[in-house]
Structure 1
Amino acid sequence: MAEYIPLELPDNPRLAQNIIHFARALRRAGLPVGPGRVIDAIRAVEAAGFTNRMDFYWTLHACFVNKPEHRIVFAQIFRLYWRDPRYLEHMMSLMLPAVRGVQENKAAQSAEKRAAQALLGDEMPDIPEQEEEQEDGTQIEVDASFTISTEEKLKTLDFEQMSLDEIAQAKKMLSRLTLPVKPIESRRSQASSMGKRTDYRRTIRDALRKGGEIRSIAHAKPRLRWPNLVVLCDISGSMSQYSRMVLHFLHAVANEKGQGWAKVHAFTFGTRLTNITRHLATRDVDASLKAAGAEAQDWQGGTRIGQCLHDFNHHWTRRVMGQGAVVLLITDGLDRDDPAALEKEMERLHLSSKRLIWLNPLLRWDGFAPKATGIRTMLPHVDSFRAGHSIQSLEQLAEAISRPDDAGEKARLMALL
């Protein structure tokens, strides 16, 4: 039987307690942190010491983080819990509604709202609602029937600013969205008594069966075919949360029958291109995205848009771009590779697709301008340029796909080049 070895805590027992509370916050934020990892973290801090902030950060990071998508949440909770002396006041401002018009109108940073919710949790105090009264003492009844519902507010909320509960609700809403597409008339025809096209071959064949006399004219109509949907999704660090929500949406599109798409092909790219099409076929969305994340090893890494598009054009264009495919390019366009190579690959991608739609979350800013070199290089080679940061923007995408003349914000931004 193994001998029981008691756990030796660091010299300061409060440090061990703080690590335990920190681990609880990580667990509430969605990280798989169990008692074993907490003990390992305390022992690791005891061995590494608490003299250097960066050593302390990476010691806890090595104990608690094992997936790329957990890095942002860990970093925000660590900053708020260990490094910011006024983190409590800051988190309160993120979680509580404005009181007496004093609250600062400041948007939370990436994953900061989820970090605040994980740290404060159910300990948030309830704010009593003030009842307005008239001068005579009678209460004023406010009709809230026309106020915006929670679901409507959630549609316009940025994916990066959502809390854990809001993300869960958003995923349910995304699972109900559809992306229908109209069929394409091909050059091939099929017999139809109401068709406007004359079927000369069928007319002659019918006449030969009846002694060579033409008694009726056969008609035909164009045969309908459905295009493929090809999605190229950026999973670099700046696009991590947006990509995750968009992939939830694409999973619903790929598994919903009757929307018109012949097939949905999905690729992720950061520093390399990864085909995740087969994972979207899994009915369970969580299992699907988990498998896709395991295969895409460059999740939340750097960005090499030009090289990844070159790999797609060279290896996958002939396989997935037939039948008038519609391409969704989801990226912020922040690329530092050679602009000439990027422009060449964008031009080839544009020529290979029937329609190329670019979804960019940076377009959510009112003052957005195509100043980055990657954006200036890519913009002329897309058919439509649209925002992709909220549920509402994805709903508008469904309307844009059914309108071939929709260019989104491309014309306005091209005038700024």
Structure 2
Amino acid sequence: MPASSPRKRGEESLPRAATPLLGFGRLLRRHGFPVAPEQGTSFMQAVTLLGPRSMNDIREAALATLAPPPDRRDEFEAHFQSHFYGNTSAMVESDADEETRIKDDGGADEERIEAEQREEGGELSSALEQLSSREFQNDEDRLTTFRRNLSTSLPARRSFRTVRTHSRGKLDLRRSLREIVSADGDIPSPLLRRRQTVPRKLLILIDVSGSMKLHTSDYLKLAHAAVQGADRTEIFTFGTRLTRITAALRIRDRDQALARAAAQVDDWDGGTRMGPTLLAFLSVPRFSAFARGAAVVILSDALERGGHGELETAMRRLGARAFRLSLATPLAGDPRFRPATAALSAILPLLDDLVDGSSVRSLTDFILSLARAAPAAATIWKRVS
């Protein structure tokens, strides 16, 4: 590690080992990376939690807390190599073939992190972020209504279980014969049963990469309301890893639930490998079963890094299992938006819906309308174009 520069005023109380960490945040800001002071503090806290045992731990902490944009990951790695290794001609190795890590929230490791980290936004603050914050403050009643109406608004299916009915059912031969025997051969009124109707499962997959940073908080609050409102709801987050957070969101108190979820997700505001993480989801039989016959809603901008072949494969397999496959992207909140990127163009024919995911209002209205039929996404966007 190169020799550190003289310490600035206000850093005298920090350990000497913290100086290179602070310096790295300043280096990124000088090169145009949107790194807020709070992110620098989170970076040092993350390094402290990790030990660290190796330089790779420091790199992972930097990716998770400093959140370089996906299209600047190579530049970020070059700065990391230069600052911590003194290697100014570092060549960045592609991590496209790295195996996606999967984390289930089965209940273990729940007390690993002491408190939820809060982020003010720093240099990322803008009129757009202010608008999102004000809009969310006015959405408490909307989320309450969403939670109460969700279970009755989801698409329904006929269960193999049956219930007793007085009309419009099939003859319950076994019960009818018992009644005849108990009545000494008299013929009673026919006893009927019908197949029970139950709500379909709801599966929500939330993109927590750096490009979705301004929307993650609202998405998690929506996910908490969904879990509280419908018993068969499953929530996963994905970025560079896949994490199931359903158990955390079953806690009734929202602040406690979100703090627990924050402790379980390791790849906040980092890069994204949407295709590989969705394929990892499908590779686990227990997870894949959550999608079978479910209404699947993906909250992501679908800005896939590199090729989109894996994303297309994953969406095709997911769509084959799901009752309805929907992508809600905040980019669609702009009237000028068109699904013109290579990735969106490739997966558009596989989607049932491509909708606005820029606000709680648009998302709650859409999810509550899932039981109503609608034209396929490709048909709608062909008309718009």
What TM-score, normalized to structure 2? 0.64
How far residue 199 of structure 1 moved from its aligned partner, in angstroms, is 3.0
SS in 1 for 2:336: coil
Structure 2 segments unaligned to the other structure (5+ residues): 1-5, 47-62, 68-119
SS in 2 for 1:238: helix
Find the counterpart in structure 1 of residue 380 from structure 2: 412
Letter in 1 for 2:280: D
1:63/1:330 CA distance change after superposition, 3 Å: closer
How far residue 298 of structure 1 moved from its aligned partner, in angstroms, is 1.3
1:56/1:395 CA distance change after superposition, 3 Å: closer
> 1:40, 1:416 → 2: CA distance?
56
> 1:239, 1:303 → 2: CA distance?
10
Find the counterpart in structure 2 of residue 321 from structure 1: 291
How far residue 224 of structure 1 moved from its aligned partner, in angstroms, is 2.6
- After TM superposition, the structure 1 stretch with the greater mean CA deviation from structure 2, 383-392 or 393-402, is 393-402
> 1:62, 1:294 → 2: CA distance?
16
How far residue 65 of structure 1 moved from its aligned partner, in angstroms, is 3.7
> What aligned pairs does 1:130-141 form with structure 2 within 5 A after superposition?
none
Matched, 1:64 2:80: no
Q: Does the 8 Å contact 1:235/1:299 carry over to 2?
A: yes
Find the counterpart in structure 1 of residue 253 from structure 2: 284
Find the counterpart in structure 2 of residue 30 from structure 1: none
Matched, 1:365 2:334: yes
Matched, 1:345 2:322: no
Letter in 2 for 1:268: T
SS in 2 for 1:300: coil
> Which structure would you say has the larger RCO, counting Cα contacts within 8 Å and 6 or more residues apart?
2
Matched, 1:378 2:355: no
Q: Does the 8 Å contact 2:159/2:195 carry over to 1?
A: yes
> 2:238, 2:15 → 1: CA distance?
33
Structure 1 segments unaligned to the other structure (5+ residues): 1-7, 11-15, 17-35, 73-109, 118-157
How far residue 71 of structure 1 moved from its aligned partner, in angstroms, is 4.7
Letter in 2 for 1:317: F
Q: Does the 8 Å contact 1:274/1:296 carry over to 2?
A: yes
Letter in 1 for 2:290: V
Q: Does the 8 Å contact 2:36/2:121 carry over to 1?
A: no
1:9/1:163 CA distance change after superposition, 3 Å: farther
How far residue 337 of structure 1 moved from its aligned partner, in angstroms, is 4.6
How far residue 211 of structure 1 moved from its aligned partner, in angstroms, is 6.0
Find the counterpart in structure 2 of residue 395 from structure 1: 364
1:9/1:60 CA distance change after superposition, 3 Å: same
Letter in 2 for 1:255: Q
Q: Does the 8 Å contact 2:238/2:277 carry over to 1?
A: yes
1:213/1:347 CA distance change after superposition, 3 Å: farther
SS in 1 for 2:214: helix
How far residue 360 of structure 1 moved from its aligned partner, in angstroms, is 0.9
SS in 1 for 2:271: coil
Letter in 2 for 1:406: A
1:174/1:210 CA distance change after superposition, 3 Å: closer
Number of aligned residue pairs: 300
How far residue 226 of structure 1 moved from its aligned partner, in angstroms, is 2.9
Q: Does the 8 Å contact 1:170/1:391 carry over to 2?
A: no
> 1:177, 1:354 → 2: CA distance?
25
Find the counterpart in structure 1 of residue 102 from structure 2: none
Per-residue CA shift, 1:301-340, capped at 9, x if unaligned? Answer: 1111111111111114344235x32211111111135433
